[in-house]
Amino acid sequence: MLAVTVLAVALRLYQLDGRSLWLDEILASQTAHLAGPAQVVTWSKAAINQMPFFYMFLWFFGHWGDTAVVLRLPAVLAGTLLVPAVFLTGRSLLGARAGLVAALLTAVLPFAVWYSQEARAYSLLMLMTTLQMYFAFWSVKRGRVTDWLGLAGFTVLNLYTHYVALTVTVTVAVFVLIFVVDDALGRASVWAKAGVGFLLAVTAAVAVLGLREGYELARPYARGHLGLALGLAGLAIVLVAVFALLLWRRSPAVRRLAAEPRFRMLRLAAATGILVSLAYLPWLPSLLVLLRRPDQSLGQIHLDHPAGLSDLAYTLAGLDLTGFMLVALCIGIVAIFAWSFPSPARPWNRFSCSRGSECRWSYSSRPPAPTQLRSILATSPSSCRRP
């Protein structure tokens, strides 16, 4: 894995200043000259469709200059860390071999290399999304508090990296909701679990639409009083929290029901959702401003021109796949095929019986040792049964 990471670093540093800064990178370089993080946040809000997290790195690296290499180093760092993050996620889902193949693909993937050499937030978005998926998987599988805190932390960081992270967060929320409902309902039927999940999804959608309509209704009266509007929204959240706390303290039935072990995942998921919502609440007005500007958000999606082979060819041409880059790409492709399609091995069936006649079968790709073979031949297969 260390060799794959080194390969990723080399590919991302190779000809880092080979392309001049283009328009969006030049605009992003403005944050390198700002006075502090507060001005970075103000700049991101004024840009309408930008989030501040990546530009915090540009501001920090801007202390060492505003050359193309310096401005692109945060993207290089994020693109490099993406490789071990993909390995950890792949290993958790499908095993070490799949994780290593996925990491190698990420290391040599032309799009990943391209966006790791651009002073834009896309490589950081890929890193945050991967870590968000990693902690989402372990949150529902292992259920540790640290996993849920990791999910909350990287969800917030991803949301403050790019607006596209909203779609990722919705997908992760649905993934977590499926396992939370399954864990909370226990031995209920599949149809009952599906019905509860559907009702929860409808409730969430109605709540979101209600909040949006309420905001549109109150916006004309709150114009020029944004601080007051945010204060009232915060007060409403505090009142709901106080009501929940009073209900918890006054009702033994609620405490007894919520303390059941089968609702542990539900409690952790609810706490994670509250933390993420509170962390994103200060940016909600900027999100609503973006949604009212289709030319800066959804209007930029051109469904009549999806990505095709011509776009891939243009990207490969821009990467200048000659010399070192071409050799690295070929080595990566060969290694991927070698690891993805290992040579078939002959399975060996083994069984061993204990004194109590309990028999266990196992399968291995290696032949048994001579002593094990004699023990196997001395044991009658008829006296053994598969577990």
Q: Please check the confidence at residue 33 and state whether its pLDDT lies above 80.
A: yes
- Residues 126 and 264 placed together within one structural domain of the fold: yes
* Residue 198 reports pLDDT greater than 50: yes
Q: Can you give the pLDDT at residue 20?
A: 84
Indicate the SS3 state at residue 95: coil
Amino acid at 183: D
Residue 86, pLDDT score: 94
Q: Assess whether pLDDT exceeds 90 at residue 354.
A: no
Same domain? 353 vs 247: no
One domain, residues 354 and 332: no
Measured CA to CA, the distance from residue 75 to residue 67 in angstroms comes to 14
- Number of domains forming the structure of the chain: 2
Cross-strand pairs, 348? 364
Weakest-pLDDT range from 24-38, 112-126, 358-372 = 358-372
Helix, strand or coil, per DSSP, at residue 143: coil
Asked if 274 and 363 sit in the same domain, the reply is no
Range of the domain at 308: 2-339
For residue 350, the cross-strand partners are 362
The reported pLDDT for the residue numbered 96 is 87
Residue 76 pLDDT > 80? yes
Q: Give the mean model confidence (pLDDT) for residues 234-263.
A: 70
pLDDT at 81 over 90: yes
- H/E run at residue 350: strand 348-353
Co-location of 112 and 178 in the same domain = yes
With bands split at pLDDT 50, 70 and 90, how would you rate the model's confidence at 352?
very low
Tell which residue, 105, 87, 89, 115, has the closest CA to residue 12: 115
Are both 235 and 261 inside the same structural domain?
yes
- Are residues 229 and 148 located together in one domain of the fold? yes
37-46, 128-137, 343-352: the lowest-pLDDT one: 343-352
Same domain, 135 and 273: yes
User: pTM of the prediction?
Assistant: 0.70
Residues 119 and 52 in one domain: yes
Share of the chain above pLDDT 90, in %: 20
Quick one: pLDDT at residue 350?
A: 46
CA distance linking residue 312 with residue 301, whole number of Å: 18
Alpha-carbon distance of 264 to 58, in angstroms, equals 41
Residue 63 has pLDDT above 60, yes or no: yes
Q: Do 216 and 361 share a structural domain?
A: no
pLDDT at 315: 63
| Token pair listed for 284 | 């909600």
Give yes or no for residue 89 having a pLDDT over 50. yes
